[in-house]
Each structure stands twice: as C-alpha cells, then as structure tokens.
Amino acid sequence: MVKLNRVPGADCKATILAKLEFQNPGGSVKDRIAKKMVEDAEAAGLISPDKNTIVEVTSGNTGIGLAMVAAAKGYPCIIIMPQVPPMYERYLLCRKFGADVHLTAPAIGGQMIQNAFDYMEILLKENPSYWTPSQFKNPSNPTVHVETTGPEVWEQTGGKVDYVIAGAGTGGTINGLGRYLKEKNPDIKLICVEPTESRVLQGEESDKHTLVGIGAGVPLQFIEELEPGKPFEPGPRGIIDEFMHATSDEGMEMANRLAAEEGLLVGPSTGAACKVALEVAARPEAAGKNIVTIFPSSGIRYVMHPMWGAEKGEGSAALPMPPDMSGDPPLLRWKSEDYVPPEE
C-alpha cells in the first residue's frame, strides 16, 4: 500500500492510499480468488489434477490467475474470452502458463460476455470432467477477500481507514473486503465504481466502454446479495454506501497520469477508481481522512488497449522493422524528445 503524492492536487483534503494488487504473483487482484476457488474445490473433493480440466469465462485477469494456479497444480486449463483486441496480452499470458484459450464471437446478438458463457455451457455439457469455478457465483470469491484483503487493509492502515473505493468486476472484492471492514468499523464508507457507460448496478443500460475488468454489463450476484430482492436502482445497497463512476476516457487519462506522476503502471479500471478517489478526497467531509483505493492490475497487460495508443505509434516509428543495421554514421539514430506525432 502506497500513498499518492503528486496526482492529488490542491483540492485534495484527504490522504489517498493505493493497495497495489498488481504485486500479486500473477499480476492482479484475481490471483486471490483463483487460488481460493481451486483449493476450496479440492478440499471438498470436487476436483483433482488427474481427473478434471478447469474451464472459465473471463475478461482476462481471472483467467491468468487460474492458468497460473493450474500450472502450479498440474491441471489442464481452458480459458474462454471474447475475441477482441484488448484480450491480446491476456491471451499470451494464459498461453505462457500452458492454458488453452478459446475465443468467442463478440457481436452475435450483441451479447459479448453472454456468448462466452453460452459456449462454456456447451463445453461443460459435452465434457463431464470439465469443472468451472464460476467466478461470478462462487462464494469462495468474496470469502477470500474477507480472509485476506480486508485484514491486510486494516493492518496496513493501523485501523485508520475512512473510505474504501473499489471497482466491481464480479463484485467479489468489494463484497468481501467491505463486509470485513464494516464489521471492524461500521462508519467506514464503501464506494463502488462503475463505468459511466455501463451503470447496470444503478439500474441503467449497459453500453460499450474500455474500462476492462469492471462493468460487465450484467447484474452481479455478489452485489445483489448485499440487499437481496432489491431492484438495481440509484442509491446505496446494503454495505455499499455509494456508487460512483468514471468514463472510459477519464479512466485512461488517470491511468496515464499515475504512470507519469506517481510511477505506478496501472490499467484503465484502476484509473477510474483513482478518479473517483480524487472526487471523494475533494469533499469537505473528507478532510483529514484516509481513503483506500484498490489498484487491481498492472498497465503492462493493456498494451493493446487504446490507453497505449500514443506510445505504440511512437514505438513503431522509433523501432522500424527491419532495423537499420548499416554501419554508416550517424551513431545516434533516434531521440524520443524530438518525435512529433503525425497529424490525425
């Protein structure tokens, strides 16, 4: 956990603490649930490496975590993702860990994630030995945050935490983390972050966005169960005091600022959470308070994402293929500070 020093401006009245979940071995907060879901199933006698193949639908980070765990334990593993460019690094990482990757149609019926789930159901029916941890429904998901993430935040802040801000992919992080911390101090304010374009948890329609990892566009079981039976509508829900949001552009802009001004290489959903944290920190009632924000994953796995567009264009110009291998002068062939991007 680190304090943000330069991104918060003069309007910031609070201390913003970032919990760097990209420091987990597979590079994201989802490593926690991957290990927990598999080991709980093993303890219950449901799966073993010699009998079962792990199968899961993911936007990437859970898939990488599961591929890593499967490699360590000897399970065959199939990761299912939509066939869209932002999955590029996720595809490579899952394959590097030895998992197979199945890519589904993103546009049939306009239901990108649902298409992946429909395909997984076919796989599971045709292959009785296949097992899915079902991250959107598996109680081990929020439980691991009750057991680990929550206690870590409490210990790392010395119990001095006033706000907790986190995005919702499955909703497991904010569910488990929030339940633990609210038991420690019911006055802690819990804030859930959604994409502005996909505020489904507030009863709005889902539209396309680029905040990969949050805003799945479907109601989330782990959020619904915080106040069972209540419609998804504007306002708080159970232990969640407030739902806030950021646009795709705001998330990318803040992620780029965090890299350039704090030395923290993060993804766009982290940028969205940080943007919300700055808004909260500017409130008069936040003066002198501690705001903990979950930074779920590293920006290095978003190189195919639009947030890397400028750097990729420059990199292609700086490092042509094939390289100039001539022995002729000049010695210096490129200076980044002299680069002028082409006009759009």
CA pair distance 157, 328, nearest whole angstrom? 58
Going 118 to 122 to 125 to 128, the CA torsion angle's sign is negative
Q: Return the amino acid letter for 59.
A: S
Q: b/e string for 103-123 if b means 16 or more Cβ within 10 A?
A: ebebeeeeebbbbbbebbeee
For residue 246, which phi and psi values (nearest 5 degrees)? -145, 150
Q: What residues are labeled active site?
A: 30, 269
Residues pairing with 135 in the sheet: none
For residue 173, which phi and psi values (nearest 5 degrees)? -65, -55
- The tokens for 155 are 């210990």
CA pair distance 255, 264, nearest whole angstrom? 8
Q: Return the amino acid letter for 211.
A: L
- The tokens for 148 are 């680990």
CA pair distance 172, 174, nearest whole angstrom? 6
Q: Do 82 and 106 meet the contact criterion of CB atoms below 8 Å apart?
A: yes
61-73 and 30-43 are packed helices; what angle lies between their axes, rounded to 10 degrees? 40
Place of tokens 């700055």: 278
- The tokens for 123 are 């796989």
